[in-house]
Structure 1
Amino acid sequence: MNMSQAAKPEAACCAHAAAAPACHEPAAVKQASCCAAPAAAPPGCHDEQAAAGDSCCETPARRDYFLWICILVVAVAYPAGAMFRHDHDSALGIFTGGIFELFNQMWWGIAIGVIFVGILGRVPRELVMGMLGRDGGITGLFRATLAGVFLDLCSHGILAVGMKLYERGASVGQVMAFLLASPWNSFSLTLILFGLIGVSWTLLFILLSLIIGIITGLVFDALVRRGQLPRNPWQDELGEPQPLSVLWREFRQSIRFSVGGSAGILREGFAGARVVIRWSLFGLILAGLIRAFMPEEAFATWFGATMGGLWLT
């Protein structure tokens, strides 16, 4: 036998190079090599066990059709309610008029909420929690409740801000105390209460609302410690604690005002408040439909000042 011919198969066994598999190419047949252990085949782009990272076949994010349908309905009904006379004999006239009136009452709260969400997105997480109190407890809950009292926002805008505070690392109790204290305590409401019930009763009202907010926060934090509610995972993103004066000085030195930056704040604020905007617009449409199709007598009967009306509401 020719020795050179006998050596050819052995050389071929170790000398050939495997071609890299394509993204959608069938998997190569697994065959043991006589010289080395078989290399693991790289995962394909549709491998179910592939890590959730960059993929060669990424799919675009789904469009929020529900949000855009609500925006379209309000965008059509609002100018119709503004331009035409509110015909209370027509369900369409009542609906468009209701959209016009209710949107005029709620748009400013949503707009301010979007701005605050955008600004909070630019503030470092450590600075936000340095002001609220990253250790929680009574002090952190008191600060969160006090912030809710003095932030003059309606319930629509305050939800967006509360979501952003949660993303910045606030505890569940701090978020709940903030949300509970804000809608029924604001600067404008305080001025109104001064004229309606007097200064002493207004101050008592504010004090009791602070106590209720703190107690609610303590209850929710206790539920988190007992494992009945999940803790805020964003708290793991917090860095090492630093003095508040140092954090504020670094943030103040990094501020640069520009038109593009302001537009970015609004864009990020809208993205962060998307969930609240979606359901606020849906509630606006639902209120217009109830006003248009439910008689006032039936509404007063079912949703009046009774225990049944309270539960239905």
Structure 2
Amino acid sequence: MADVVVLIVAESWHVLVEASPYVLFGFFVAGLLKGFVPDSYMARHLGRDSFGSVVKAAIVGVPLPLCSCGVLPTALGLRRQGASKGATTAFMISTPETGVDSMAVTYALIDPIMTVIRPVAASLTAVFAGVLVNAFPGKEEPLPMASVTDSCGAGGCGCGGSCPTEPQEGVGVRFRLGMDYAFGEMIGDIGRWLMVGVLIAGIISALIPEDALSGYVGSGFLSYLVMLVVALPLYVCATASTPIAASLLLKGLSPGAALVFLLAGPATNGATITVMLKTLGKRAAGLYVASIVIASLVLAWVTDRIYDALGLDIRAVVAEVDELLPHWAGVAGAVILLILVARSFIGKGRKH
């Protein structure tokens, strides 16, 4: 038993060392976005029931580092400021499915191709859902004025998220506020779940034999369905889902099936569906889930065809990620990240 625990810890540490520098870089870019991109700028471009507004919402959401609960106050704020149902839906899908932080970790732990496929797939899924919602809007319940603020720090989601705020004037002030958000609030919201994802990845690496998934789960459509069944009820943020997906790939999961997990896991949970039911209506909520399911399956098939056409063995690529950065840089990043996560826990404990 002790040997198993040591092996799990060793594998988890290995994942953390490889991912940490990219996670920290992702947080830094996220802080820049938070400090220098006003929320009102997005709202001005998302108001019409048009294909263009849906596309804009999908693209705007891709780099933002918000999980599926953290995105709720921002999305509802956009809706209250005049964004269409379709644009709001697109934003609520593309934002949690990917972000600058998760893209950096995808590059570190998987490969450059998946790093590109992931945001493209999130954008296409979001556009597909937004167009459907605009085409079949259904009825909409009035949004209570307290809903946006009440959903900040939504319980049961695993991440707090922040209410939309306008950055203050001054480059220095904006930079400081952005960094405070990224390495303070955002670390507190995402950090613990990233550590859970790293631990799960370590358990998978340590306990699941090589080729186990290819033998039991299979490949093709069956593996996609299995990943959907696992991902849809599971809450996992985009960053934390990445080390889990990387470990599953090493055990024989296909790139397409991994993409299903990366798309469906971060975008769905009970809080998101509940808010959609109350604010956008039953039809929009149903189209939201259906769009994620359909798009995930189609894009998974396309992804596997891309890797087959290129003749790439993704497991060989994932196994070589330790060559991306010097080992000392990974260790330093891991130590810094652990200190930041620990500090966030101590800060929350003092508040209580």
TM range (shorter): 0.3 to 0.5
Provide the TM-score with structure 2 as the length reference.
0.39
| Higher alpha-carbon Rg | 1
Higher relative contact order at CA 8 Å, sep ≥6: structure 1 or structure 2?
2
